[in-house]
Amino acid sequence: MDRMWRRIGRIVLVTGLWSAVAAQAEIPKETYEALKLDRSASPQQLYEALVKRYKDPAEGAGRGSHAQYWKPIPFSKYLDPHSFYKPPATVKEVASREDCVKCHADESPVWVSSWKKSGHANLDRIRQLAPSDPTFYKKAKLEEVEANLRSLGKLGAGEALKEVGCIDCHVDVNAQGRANHAADLRMPTADVCATCHVQEFAERESERDTITWPNNEWPKGRPSHALDYKANVETTIWAGMPQREIAEGCTACHQNQNKCDTCHTRHEFSVVESRKPQACATCHNGIDHNNWEAYSLSKHGKITEMKGSEWNWSMPLKDAFAKGGQTAPTCQTCHMEYQGKFSHNMVRKVRWANYPSAGGVAANITSAWSEKRLEAWVKTCTQCHSESLARSYLELMDKGTLQGLAKYQEAHKVVEKLYADKLLPGQTTNRPAPPPPDKEGVAQFFQLFWTQANNPSSIEFEVIEMGENDLAKLHVGLAHVNPGGWTYTEGWEPMNRAYSKIMSEDTKLRAMASLQERVAKLETRRTSLLEPSDGATRASLGGLGGALLLAGGAALAIARRRGKDAD
């Protein structure tokens, strides 16, 4: 009887709270539609629908379609725990909630000291927040978390969550008993975090639904954090390359699909940290997507560097400018914003997707799909700028990107033609096939990471980088208002450097082929005059091509025949 009443009470309570929460939620309607739920769905319903999809290999979970080509290394279990993590067989301890903390304070002390600073270890501090505190919003968040747990049957109706300790994430949320390291331990994946943080997980997972490209310029739901592991394992060269320790370097960033702690570093899980632009920097930097470098050199980034210590980073993003004193944008205030609201979906305004050379992206840039997203950007920029400035700058960005693209395409054609003419160094004599699932082709992405003998030629490498790296940086420089980033240091000047290399190399390769032909002609004609063809000499002609020998041979045959005909 008592139990029945508790249960009824729980349902009432949960429903009531959830409605309130859901009203504020930034989960896009596309996701409710994809999951076949409506907004009145309970946390449990939402959680279960999300997790079902999340764990479904057909929806991008796990090793992907090239699984036959690659093997995990020991470290892989930390990058894709669902596929590879096994509890440590050698650790025999069976431990209670308190034992975890006590023992690991010696074993791995910074785990414990970081956690002790976290909200997880200080739920009561959150409960006692005064409305005047900038972090007062956390109190509502905690209530929402408890409502989620109650909906999932993991917390009693009147029960308060005491703490989130080791055992909650690594064994089971609100676990009461003792856990066996060798059997019960889990490496928390995003769905584990979702047990409490349904909304944030749903926002993140909504990236799958909101970035559906009009002409499949990119695969559905990509590029995004939600499917970044899938993007990784579906990349042919990633799967095929023999150097697995190098390859797992890619995964070291492409693991957001699997885990939340690349942005919310364990075990402090500081939101202040995750609001700072540096939180994105470890992955979003470098030769092919220098977002961090471009931003941090821009005036936006430099103001953040100079003035950021005066801003109140405890404010949630929506209050960062108005109440936090922020006077320049961060990664988060631009990329997590959509129509004035902030969420963990970072791809709702994606237009160029960092890679202007990706097939169809440029052609799509003036489509209605893209225009709608451009309008959303205008709204973002007008937080700090006039509409006129925003529009004229975004136009500059688009046009500048197209100018870079044209340069790249011009150079690419030259390399393609060389390949068609079989003139790349060693192309016909010493160009091994790439490891499967990759296949022979000119100027392929795989050639940046797999090279053997004359595959690829240096001129191909040049043009691949021109598109994958230089052009990407040109666009990123434009997008982040870093002038040297599209004009001189990165972008245009390096693209012209590459272009000049490609054109000089083209001219030289063709000059060489021409000269080789002339020499072959001299050899052939002479031979026919004076003596039988010298097979041994011809066979050693080396580097150059069987093709040329063949050509030479053909010429010889023609010359002979002609001699006859002329008779």
Would you please indicate which residues are annotated as catalytic (active-site) residues?
Answer: 254, 288-289, 355, 488
Give yes or no for residue 182 binding a copy of itself (CB under 8 A): no
What's the CA gap between 431 and 439, in Å, rounded?
12
Per CB under 8 A, 110 contacts a copy of itself: yes
Residue 162 or residue 497: which is nearer to a copy of itself going by CB?
497
Residue whose CB is less far from a copy of itself, 210 or 482? 482
- Cβ of residue 10: shortest distance to a copy of itself, in angstroms? 37
Residue 346: name the closest of 362, 327, 330, 364 by CA. Answer: 330
Residues 467-526 that bind a copy of itself (CB under 8 A): 477-478, 481-484, 486-489, 491-493, 496-497, 499-501, 503-505, 507-508, 510-519, 521-523, 525-526
Of the candidate residues 37, 140, 180, 321, the single one contacting a copy of itself (CB under 8 A): 321
Q: Which is nearer to a copy of itself, 286 or 435 (CB)?
A: 286
Q: How far is the CB of 335 from a copy of itself (least distance, A)?
A: 17
Q: Does 299 bind a copy of itself (CB under 8 A)?
A: yes
For helices 492-530 and 546-566, give the axis angle rounded to 10 degrees: 40
The Cα 407–Cα 241 span in angstroms is 31
- Looking only at residues 260 through 279 of this chain, which bind a copy of itself when binding is defined by CB under 8 A? 262, 265, 268, 270, 272-273, 276, 278-279
Preceding peptide of 329 cis, ω within 30° = no
Binding mask 56-75 for a copy of itself (x = CB under 8 A): -----------------xxx
The tokens for 186 are 């889990």
Q: Using CB under 8 A, which of the segments 1-9, 27-35, 102-110, 156-164 binds a copy of itself? A: 102-110
Q: For a copy of itself, which residue of 177, 249, 436, 441 counts as binding (CB under 8 A)? A: 249
The residues in 403-422 that bind a copy of itself, with binding defined as CB under 8 A, are: 403-404
Helices (H) then strands (E): counts for the chain: 29, 4
Alpha helices in 259-358 (DSSP H): 271-275, 278-281, 291-297, 299-307, 331-335
Query: Should residue 533 be labelled a site residue for a copy of itself when binding is judged by CB under 8 A?
Result: no
Secondary structure of residue 432 in the 3-state scheme = coil
- Phi, psi (degrees; rounded to nearest 5) at 357: -85, -10
How far, in Å, are 55, 199, 226 from residue 542 at the CA level? 55, 66, 52
Query: Cβ of residue 285: shortest distance to a copy of itself, in angstroms?
Result: 6
DSSP line for 4-69: HHHHHHHHHHHHHHHHHHHHH----HHHHHHTT--TT--HHHHHHHHHHHHT-GGGT-TT-TTGGG
Residue 375: CB partners within 8 Å, gap ≥ 6? Answer: none
Binding piece for a copy of itself, criterion CB under 8 A, among 27-35, 153-161, 216-224, 445-453: 445-453
Contact call for residues 437 and 240 (beta carbons, < 8 A): yes
Q: How far is the CB of 31 from a copy of itself (least distance, A)?
A: 29
Q: Does 78 bind a copy of itself (CB under 8 A)?
A: yes
Least Å from the CB of residue 146 to a copy of itself: 27
Burial class (CB in 10 A: 0-12, 13-18, 19+), 244: middle
* Contacts to a copy of itself from residues 338-397, by CB under 8 A: 382-386, 388-389, 391-393, 395-397
- In 3D, which of 303, 345, 347 has the Cα closest to residue 321? 303
Residues 146-175 that bind a copy of itself (CB under 8 A): none
Nearest approach in angstroms of CB 178 to a copy of itself is 19
Which CB sits closer to a copy of itself, 218 or 492? 492
Closer residue to a copy of itself, CB minimum distance, 40 or 458? 458
Q: In the complex with a copy of itself, which residue's Cβ is closer, 213 or 238? A: 238
Q: How many residues bind a copy of itself (CB under 8 A)?
A: 149
Q: Which stretch binds a copy of itself (CB under 8 A): 7-15, 23-31, 49-57, 287-295?
A: 287-295
CA 358 to CA 472: how far, in whole Å? 10
Q: How far is the CB of 351 from a copy of itself (least distance, A)?
A: 16
Shortest separation between residue 257's beta carbon and a copy of itself, angstroms: 15
Q: In the beta sheet, which residues pair with residue 455?
A: 452
Determine the 3-state secondary structure of 338 from DSSP: strand
